[in-house]
Amino acid sequence: MKQFLLIATMMLTFSLVNAQTKVFKGTSAYSSDVLCNLNNSKVYKKTSSYSSDVICNISGSKVYKGTSSYSSDVLYNVSDGKVYKGTSSYSSDIVMTIKDGKIYKGTSTYSSDVIATIKDGKVYTGNSSYSSDIQFTINGYVTIIEFVAIWHAVKYSY
């Protein structure tokens, strides 16, 4: 009996560690509408888990192109909610700012510069909270750096 409980606990732990976070188009929850998935700090195309289908990967505070870990392949560097282009840390290279569930253009935090709103795993266009304005839905909790990787996959890979 103890052996069974140990094996069951190990399997549950393994499945939780390897859990995928799926990103769906709009409000859908159908597997045919999966845009990408996050698993083990990698964002894959659709429901794939093949290394050839890695769109980007996360290491530390950086998002890299594909499976690369070269500094020349850094897409974004994230620090304090600011998303920098490449390895830069200059304010002139800030692509977007993520603050209080809003994504702003560049360094702005003005309501007129809101690109998207994040609420309850749903990403809305601009300041909207209407279901018709949901761009994509994330079916789990993600960190800011994971969100940036997903954003890149959704916005620039399709």
pLDDT in tens, 15-61: 444 579 999 999 999 999 999 999 999 999 999 999 999 999 999 99
Instruction: Evaluate whether residue 77 is within a structural domain.
Output: yes
Q: Within a domain: residue 48?
A: yes
For residue 79, is it within any domain? yes
Q: Is 152 left (phi over 0), alpha (psi -120 to 50) or beta?
A: alpha
pTM value is 0.87
Q: How far is CA 116 from CA 29, 47, 74, 150, in A?
A: 21, 24, 23, 14
Q: Read off φ and ψ for residue 146, nearest 5 degrees.
A: -65, -40
| Domain ranges, residue 37 | 21-156
Q: What is the CATH number of the domain that holds 85?
A: 2.40.160
The C-alpha angle with vertex 18 and arms to 12 and 20, in degrees rounded to 5, equals 115
pLDDT at 19: 76
Residue 10: inside a domain, yes or no? no
Report the domain count for the chain.
1
